[in-house]
Structure 1
Amino acid sequence: MTHTDPTTPDEFARLAARIEDEVAELQVDSFGPSDALRLGLILVRLGTERALPIAIDIRRGSQILFHVALEGAQADNDVWIARKARAVERYGIPSLLLGTRPKIAGKRIESEGWFDQMEYAAHGGGFPVSVRGTGIVAVATVSGLPQIEDHDLVVSALREFVEG
């Protein structure tokens, strides 16, 4: 599944709206270590079935609940995962949304002096795991594909997790 990256303000606005809808939709009643394992294994199955060269990570704060590198993943993917996960934790939104919102106005968050690119990544693949009535309790992250595909893979896994 390949995606064409948005290029116009309207396309970025549509992408941002879609991501906001996904955040609202994909909330859970509870989430602990056994849930992280189940979600992680869904991501492993999806990645393995599609032969995707990805690394997968689920963390709660500084605690890594699940982490795996599938065939073809690189050490660099772990660096991207850490930066994407920190972005979700710091800003409270999916990493793709963090990078998309400024583009609606023709800007890049990376151009802002306050945004530390060495610490955070405003690229798709990091998604908050939110418990209804509590808020974000963990972050699920994928790295290794084009950013919208990283994001969509996490969303697909979360959707399956929530439904099943």
Structure 2
Amino acid sequence: MMSTDNILPDLLLQESELQFERFNNQTAWQLGCKLKELAEAKNVLIAIEVYAFNQNLFSYAMHGTQLDNQHWIKRKRQTVLRFGHSSYYVGQYNQAKNRAFEQQAHINAYEYCAHGGAFPLRIKDCGLVGAVTVSGLPEEEDHQMVIDALTGLVKPDFR
């Protein structure tokens, strides 16, 4: 595994490269279905949310997930919407600063968390419109699942 200092530029590159030309309800559906398809192919259990334009456009909880996954999704999503970066980036950034994100005075740990799995949805030349979130796997795997799905839709030749 990379050191925290080495991973931060890679995570920022993902955010820069994995942006949509346009995004709407149909795009949200395609992204959610792609995540479900990837999870089924890997035989893993996850909960999925695609949230944009201040509404939940796709939500799916695979059989075997728990209500707790929905709580994780909300906290991860809120982190992306507040800080404008993937929840994994926020966690790695705070780790590089030798501090616990959730223990900072201005952070309500019931509303925010810095665990991988939520990624900003951006439209090129427009900005942040939402977040796609996965919960159910270790944070690196949640994050990578989202990256794989976005890569397949946005930039098939990106790695």
| Both structures adopt the same fold (TM-score exceeding 0.5) | yes
1:28 and 1:130 in contact (8 A); partners too = yes
Pairing partner for 2:97 from 105, 128, 139: 105
Structure 1's unaligned 5+ residue stretches are none
Pairing partner for 1:152 from 144, 148, 152: 144
2:48 and 2:60 in contact (8 A); partners too = yes
1:52 and 1:72 in contact (8 A); partners too = no
Task: Please report the RMSD computed on the Cα atoms of aligned residues, expressed in angstroms.
Answer: 1.3
Deviations 1:62-113, CA, capped at 9 Å, x for gaps: 4110000113211100000011011101111101111111211322222311
Is residue 23 from structure 1 mapped to residue 31 from structure 2 by the alignment? Answer: no
1:48 and 1:70 in contact (8 A); partners too = no
Q: Secondary structure at the match of 1:46?
A: helix
2:77 and 2:133 in contact (8 A); partners too = yes
Report the alpha carbon displacement of residue 15 of structure 1 after superposing the two structures with TM: 1.8
Normalised TM-score (structure 1): 0.90
Give distance in 2, aligned partners of 1:160 and 1:88.
21
Q: Secondary structure at the match of 1:154?
A: helix
Report the alpha carbon displacement of residue 16 of structure 1 after superposing the two structures with TM: 1.5
Pairing partner for 2:57 from 65, 68, 72: 65
Q: 1:1-164 residue pairs with structure 2 within 5 A? A: 11-163=3-155
1:16 and 1:100 in contact (8 A); partners too = yes
1:99 and 1:122 in contact (8 A); partners too = yes
Deviations 1:25-67, CA, capped at 9 Å, x for gaps: 1011110000000111100100111111100000115411000
Query: Stretches of 4+ moved more than 4 A in 1?
Result: none
Paired amino acid for 1:106 = N
Give distance in 2, aligned partners of 1:68 and 1:57.
7
Structure 2's unaligned 5+ residue stretches are none
Give distance in 2, aligned partners of 1:46 and 1:132.
25
Report the alpha carbon displacement of residue 114 of structure 1 after superposing the two structures with TM: 1.0
Paired amino acid for 1:48 = E
Give distance in 1, aligned partners of 2:53 and 2:21.
19
